[in-house]
Chains A and B, each alone.
Chain A
Amino acid sequence: MSTFVEEKPTQKLESFKGVKKVPHEEYYTSGHRTCQGCESAQIMKLMAKAAGPRTIVLGSTGCMYVANTSYYATPWGVPWMHTQLGSSGSAALGAAAAFRAQMRKGAMKDEPINVIAFCGDGGGADMGLGAISATMTHPDYNLLILMYDNESYANTDIQISGTSPYGVNTSFSTPGKVKRIMHHRWKKNMAPLMLVGHPTCKYVGAISTSYPLQAMNSVRKALSIGGPTFIHCLNPCPKGWDFDPVLSFELGELAVNTGIWPLYEVENGVLKLYGKTEKIANGQFKRLPVRDYLLKQGRFAHFIDEDIEYFQSKIDEMWNKWLVPGIIPLRREIEADEPR
């Protein structure tokens, strides 16, 4: 280790050994105005619970600002601050730098403080990507960027973001008389992007609110390991995805069981797959057809068989052809693209 990298100790947050061991204290409570069945609010709650009281949270513009934090009705039991849409990376860096400088100079009690900045997929995968990327290269600031992903700009009217799935109907990609599919880009693979592009980043996690224990432990590991870390969380959104709120949890599970959303973490370069994702990779569990997931959501109601087959073929490719199945899209050998 270079002597010019000045690491600071982190809080040592042991993983919760089961749901019954999770403390009762909540740091994200009542007061928010999020929709019924909102899984993005759920990850806020889990994140705050996992991090505990010696934490500050910086929240980018998005649902989790506008619907979440109304004046006089804040749900936050830890200090929270609004930050601009593209600024989650800069916010975390600035806060960590401020604490570090003041603690070194004796202007503030020297203690490990968790610094978490969250952003939505619009703030993280689109506008804030550059700032997050820069932040992931700073070895000497302890911080976590958590991206909650409801796969659209869900606060502004449901518009395409960099993580919107192929073919989705959003208010910027409504099917028309001539074009059924207006959004033909594939979702950004954010956690591996952070991992592969930033050797300094010691921890990335891909989590889902349908697996709360793993989600909380992922946050705890990210905050304990030191340096900049990144977590990508998939959050089903009843409003944006057009489904009954009772299905939020089930859709989170289906995303994993169809192989669309793998659960994993990479800790100091070591990949660990979780739950059904691990079983899919080991061949112990046969992926469910993506049809089961897609057709439960109004946003894919315009799909015909051809579209579902294409979606399925892309997921099959992810598991059958990628060098690290489901995660890293390198291939073992060059092969010609199949004609479509």
Chain B
Amino acid sequence: MATIALPVEEKKKYEQEALITGAEAIAVACKLANVDVVTAYPIRPYDTVMQYISQLKADGEMDCEYIVAEGEHSQFEIVKHASVCGARVFCGSSGVGWMYAMEALTVTPALRVPMVAMVGNRALDDPGAFGVEHNDALAVRDLGWLLNWVDSAQEALDTALIAYRVAEDPRMFVPCAISCDGAFLTHSQALVNIPTQEQVKQFLPPYKRGDLLLHPDNVISVAPQVNEDWVMEVRRQNYEVTERACGVIREVYADFERIFGRKYGNPFFEEYMTEDAEVVLLGMGTLSTPTRVAIRKMREQGKKVGFVRLRWFRPFAGVELAKCLERFKAIGVIDRDFSFGSPNLSGVVATEVRSAMYTGAATRPPVLGFICGLGGREVLVQDVEHMTDITFEAAKGKAQPLTQWIGLRG
């Protein structure tokens, strides 16, 4: 088993650089965040994060309760209750493991529990595949979870710290899942700047559950039966969290930049070579790497194409995204997921982008949906070129199918 390449020495004044994987970066973030209760259960590819945390505990570097559960349902239920009792918690899963925990995932936002979880995105069974697909994490998109996708180990570490700060903000108190593409991010090493403990302390105050704390000093009954009398009002409270979410996230990113000096710009999506672009591709996660390479290559050929990488899927910064996208002649959305039977049979992200554009954009550029890179299949540079060419055709006014599968074997 791999060990932490470069242990953080807490007294170091400046950030240290270490060559670590995305999963390891999140483990380091958990240590820096002084997480109290961690629950593990094996499923590839997310589980490497739990191997690193186990080692951190064994080496005396991290002080936490580390519980190996007997299934994902228990894994998520244990930390849910720990969080209600005031502990900062960490958990995670992949693919069908995440689905096995679904009941717990459903009640966690409803109970206003600021759990932070890592999803090592993996294809759902059957048939078996270890590789990335986004349908696991996307399954909770309607339930009140905050959901984001990161594309580098550095962003994974930073986003884990940001996730705790956002989730535990008393205006929020909802869980946050950090999605990391299986293998491409969870298992790929990169140089990561590890912040100091002092910086993290400054950024991340202790979790205070306040008058919602389950403790003998605070005699409350949590989640009694409400039925039709009150459940609608309770749902409305979760809705109001989502109304506040974008503002809180913006605040936290500004603070992150101030304390750590690393700039993420717009927290919700990242633009690449879009200033003069005629068409753009849009996607989430590590497909950004081949896409950027392909775009640089196509730029050399004079093709004015850019890329928008969606970072936060929930909340979905619809108005802002629509304002960004309305200036392009066509948009090609790359979905590493499927949504069988959806409008236009498109993937989840394409459907959401179209919905946002319908209400938020002044123009009606074609929004094409591409299903690509399922089950861990690589999104190749030539796939990106192919999708770009189709998007350019649409930009010229030549009608294109609204959903196309790219990289499919003949």
Contact = CB atoms under 8 A, between A and B. Distances in A.
Interface of A: 53-56, 58, 65-66, 69-74, 76-84, 86-87, 89-95, 97-102, 104-105, 107-108, 113, 130-131, 133-134, 138
A232 B361 CA distance: 62
Chain A contact residues: over half helix, strand or loop, or mixed?
mixed
A107 B223 CA distance: 25
B242 interface: no
Interface in B62-97: 63-65, 67, 69-71, 73-74, 77-87, 89
Contact of A82 (B64, B218, B224): B224
B77 A97 contact: no
Contact of A56 (B34, B83, B215): B215
A84 B103 contact: yes
A84 B77 contact: yes
Nearest to B107: A84
B80 A94 contact: yes
Contacts of A74: 221, 224
B218 A101 contact: no
Contacts of A94: 37, 77-85
Interface stretch (B146-154, B225-233, B364-372): B225-233
Nearest to B78: A94
B78 A66 contact: no
A130 B186 CA distance: 30
A130 B79 CA distance: 17
Max count, chain A CB within 10 A of own CB: residue among B70, B78, B221: B221
Interface of B: 34, 36-37, 63-65, 67, 69-71, 73-74, 77-87, 89, 103-104, 107, 206, 214-216, 218-226, 229-230
B219 A79 contact: yes
21 contacts: A56-B214, A70-B225, A71-B225, A74-B224, A78-B219, A79-B215, A81-B223, A82-B223, A82-B224, A84-B77, A91-B77, A91-B81, A94-B81, A98-B83, A100-B65, A101-B37, A108-B86, A130-B74, A131-B70, A131-B73, A131-B77
Contacts of A138: 67
Nearest to B87: A98
Contact of B86 (A65, A87, A107): A107
B227 to A, nearest CB: 8
A87 B221 CA distance: 17
Nearest to B230: A71
Contact of A134 (B34, B69, B81, B218): B69
Contacts of A134: 69-70, 74
A82 B222 contact: yes
Contacts, number: 149
Contacts of A70: 224-226
B104 to A, nearest CB: 7
B74 A131 contact: yes
A109 to B, nearest CB: 8
A55 B217 CA distance: 10
The 10 residue pairs across chains A and B that have the minimum distance between CB atoms: A94-B81, A98-B85, A98-B87, A90-B77, A98-B82, A134-B70, A74-B221, A101-B36, A81-B222, A82-B223
Nearest to A72: B224
Max count, chain B CB within 10 A of own CB: residue among A73, A90, A99, A104: A90
Contact of A58 (B81, B89, B215, B225): B81
B36 A102 contact: yes
A80 B85 contact: no
B216 A97 contact: no
A83 to B, nearest CB: 7
Contacts of B215: 56, 79, 108, 113
A101 B230 contact: no
A66 B225 contact: yes
Nearest to A97: B65
A281 B70 CA distance: 38
A124 B389 CA distance: 59
A107 B206 contact: yes
A97 B70 contact: no
Nearest to B208: A107
Contacts of B219: 76-79
Contacts of A102: 36, 85-87
Contacts of B87: 97-98, 101-102
Given A79-B220, A97-B78, 10 more contacts: A53-B216, A54-B216, A70-B225, A78-B219, A87-B77, A93-B81, A95-B81, A102-B85, A105-B34, A107-B36
B34 to A, nearest CB: 8
B219 to A, nearest CB: 5
A71 B225 CA distance: 6
A113 to B, nearest CB: 6
A102 B213 CA distance: 13
Nearest to B103: A84
Contacts of A92: 81
Contacts of A83: 77, 81
A84 B69 CA distance: 16
Given A71-B230, A81-B214, A97 B67 contact: yes
A89 to B, nearest CB: 7
A89 B216 contact: no
Max count, chain B CB within 10 A of own CB: residue among A77, A86, A95: A95
Contact of A86 (B64, B73, B81): B73
Contacts of B214: 56, 79, 81, 95
A76 B73 CA distance: 27
B82 A69 contact: no
A11 B224 CA distance: 28
Given A104-B63, A105-B63, A130 B70 contact: yes
